[in-house]
Amino acid sequence: MIKISEENLKLVEDFGASPISDLENIPDFYTFKKGLIYSHRDFDVFLKALENGEKCAIVSGVNASGTLHLGHKIVFDTNLYFQRKYGIPVFIPISDDESYVAGKVNDQEEAFNNSVKLAKEMLAYGFDPRKTYFIIDHSCTEIYNLAFKLSRKINYSEIKAVYGYKPEQNIGLHFYPAVQSAHILLPQEKFGIKNVLVPIGPDEDNHFRICRDIAYRFGYNKPAAIHSNFIMGLDNNKMSKSRNNGINLNEEVSSLKKKINNAFSGGQKTIEEHRKLGGDPEVDISCQYLSLFFLNEEESMQLFEKYRKGEILSGEVKKMLFDKTSAFLNDFQDKLRDITDEDVENCLVRIPR
């Protein structure tokens, strides 16, 4: 079982989220079974609506300044589980405007081009183009009409408390929470889908709470959320772009091999010591990644037992992770080559006036 991060614990202990483990019936899917999804807000309400055959949707965004990495696998696979099992639509906001106003990209054209690239990667990952809708605000400008409507019930004190923005920062940052809420409430406003699930990381929950408050003020159904757990980077620090300690989905083989070979190890200093004393799979990143992303429960138990006994060396575990990951990335990158601009165009949300 994955170690729970402090950020996830705080959501339950201090901010009113509920542990997934408290639910009587959780989805029979690895992200829930392995503790990769830790807590929720009204997920039980969403599941009940789903089982009752009511209209449901998922809203799950990505940042236009970033790249997709293995850590995204938790949310992506969870979204795909619901899309494939229940046939529900997945709305994917790609925040090209936020990337621009926050200075994460040089200009709006770069932000839009990044958004199209990310949309292609989503389709290559396996999202159904018939049931997947990209919200790129550069082309879906009607999103701002909804954002303006919602902005009437958001005040500066709330934005300052949640985001810490200062008066001297550009007004685009202050307004963006209204846009983000518009993304989440769009299925209700324009498509009549009242039951919406938003899978997020624990660091995004404060933004989401603003949206739930706004939904209540305007008479919308409050969207539900599930919170993924943080996954440690290859160096056993929090995964971040600045540290380059994650595995990108566009990673080249040579770079992948170097990263995995340098991954944090739970083994001993020498082969002789490892054979005698064994290693600690609970801190070994390669063991953890294999268990969380690629192995079933029985396979994980066998790997961990052999590693503790010193029957498997750290280098052998890293080789296993490289083989599994490279096969996964090769398959993804092969599929990506077949995705066209037209494929993305067909999935863009366009709202008629």
Same domain, 194 and 263: no
- Alpha-carbon gap, residue 313 to 270, rounded angstroms: 10
In a domain, 240, yes or no: no
- Structurally, the chain folds into a number of domains equal to 2
Rg (CA), the chain: 21
In a domain, 276, yes or no: yes
The angle subtended at Cα 249 by Cα 33 and Cα 322, nearest 5°, is 75
Supply the pTM of this predicted model: 0.94
Question: Are 39 and 72 within 8 A, CB to CB?
Answer: no
Tens digits of per-residue pLDDT, 137-158? 988 988 999 999 999 999 999 9
In a domain, 75, yes or no: yes
Residue 16: domain span: 6-231
The CATH number of residue 272's host domain is 1.10.240.10
Tens of pLDDT, residue by residue, the chain (353 residues): 577 888 899 999 999 999 999 998 899 999 999 999 999 999 999 999 999 999 999 999 999 988 899 999 999 999 999 999 999 999 999 999 999 999 999 999 999 999 999 999 999 999 999 999 999 998 898 899 999 999 999 999 999 888 888 889 999 999 999 999 999 999 999 999 999 999 999 999 988 999 999 999 999 999 999 999 988 999 999 888 888 999 999 999 999 999 999 999 999 999 999 999 999 999 999 999 999 999 999 999 999 999 999 999 999 999 999 999 999 999 999 999 999 999 999 999 977 55
Question: Are 146 and 351 within 8 A, CB to CB?
Answer: no
Place of tokens 């993804």: 332
- Alpha-carbon gap, residue 135 to 352, rounded angstroms: 14
Q: Which of 70, 81, 69 is nearest to 32 (CA)?
A: 81
Bridge-based pairing state of the strands 195-200 and 90-94: unpaired
Strands (E), 232-328: none
In a domain, 238, yes or no: no
Residue type present at position 64: A
Same domain, 190 and 42: yes
The CATH number of residue 219's host domain is 3.40.50.620
